Amino acid sequence: MEKNILVQNFETLLKIISAYFEKFLESDFIYDDESLKVIYSKTNEHERYKYFIENFYSSLKEYIYYTKDDIDIFTGKKESDFSEIELPIIPITRGLNKNEKDVSYHYELGKLSTKRNIHDFEFFSSLLKSKCDNCKVLIELNYMQENLNNDIEYYCAYKYLRYLLKN
């Protein structure tokens, strides 16, 4: 099923999603038809748009897979896998050297994910800038600041920023 849906052109895909997977479109800030069309039209302009659309497709595939899986469990075509899940063994390490701590951006990204006023944005982005000097990250932060009033540009840059900080 998901293979047939994903081979459609983008506009047809959006119509199918709107008709059959409306909840998926509510799962992200800018997963509405018009915003997605604008972003899709810009995929050749910058990596942030290409990444956003790739992430959209990936999320859609995952959503369809789990929706189908839930339907199969509900209708009895498949049994739940929960009884087969083993609890992970978490190793406890003591006395971590303070110099070995990984840099985390979770707090700053969490604050930037909810668009704020310019002063809050400057504060939280400056915290992030103090931890990271990656040129692409700094460019995206500046781009986000310039586009605080444009949801499409802000959230495309935000998602790309998260991607850059993971890699």
Q: Is residue 70 part of a domain?
A: yes
Instruction: Identify the pLDDT of residue 75.
Output: 76
Same domain assignment for residues 2 and 52:
yes
Asked whether the predicted pLDDT for residue 98 surpasses 60, the reply is no
Same domain assignment for residues 70 and 1:
yes
Instruction: Identify the pLDDT of residue 102.
Output: 76
Q: Is residue 82 part of a domain?
A: no
Same domain assignment for residues 41 and 109:
no
Q: Is residue 23 part of a domain?
A: yes
pLDDT tens readout for residues 52-81: 999 999 999 888 888 877 677 677 776 666
Last residue of a domain, one of 75, 92, 117: 75
Instruction: Identify the pLDDT of residue 50.
Output: 97
Say if residues 68 and 128 touch (Cβ distance below 8 Å).
Answer: no
Same domain assignment for residues 113 and 65:
no
- Assign 3 a pLDDT band (cuts: 50, 70, 90): low
The rounded Cα 11 to chain-centroid distance in angstroms is: 21
Domain count, the chain: 2
Last residue of a domain, one of 75, 96, 117: 75
Q: Is residue 47 part of a domain?
A: yes
Q: Is residue 27 part of a domain?
A: yes
pLDDT tens readout for residues 109-135: 999 998 878 999 999 999 999 999 999
Same domain assignment for residues 110 and 69:
no
Instruction: Identify the pLDDT of residue 67.
Output: 80
Q: Hey, what are 57's tokens? A: 């497709």
- CA dist 165 and 167 (Å) reads 5
Same domain assignment for residues 21 and 65:
yes
Q: In the chain, pLDDT over 70 holds for what percent of residues? A: 81
Instruction: Identify the pLDDT of residue 101.
Output: 62
Asked whether the predicted pLDDT for residue 92 surpasses 80, the reply is no
Instruction: Identify the pLDDT of residue 136.
Output: 96
Whole-angstrom distance between the N-terminal and C-terminal Cα of the chain? 32
Domain that holds residue 6: 1-75
Instruction: Identify the pLDDT of residue 167.
Output: 72
- CA dist 126 and 132 (Å) reads 10
Out of 27-31, 97-101, 116-120, pick the least confident: 97-101
Integer CA distances (angstroms), 54 to 60, 124, 135, 155, in order: 10, 27, 23, 14
DSSP letters spanning 46-60: -HHHHHHHHHHHHHH
Q: How many contiguous H segments (helices) and E segments (strands) does the chain have?
A: 9, 0
Same domain assignment for residues 62 and 120:
no
Q: Is residue 131 part of a domain?
A: yes
Same domain assignment for residues 120 and 60:
no
Q: Which tops the pLDDT comparison, 37 or 85?
A: 37
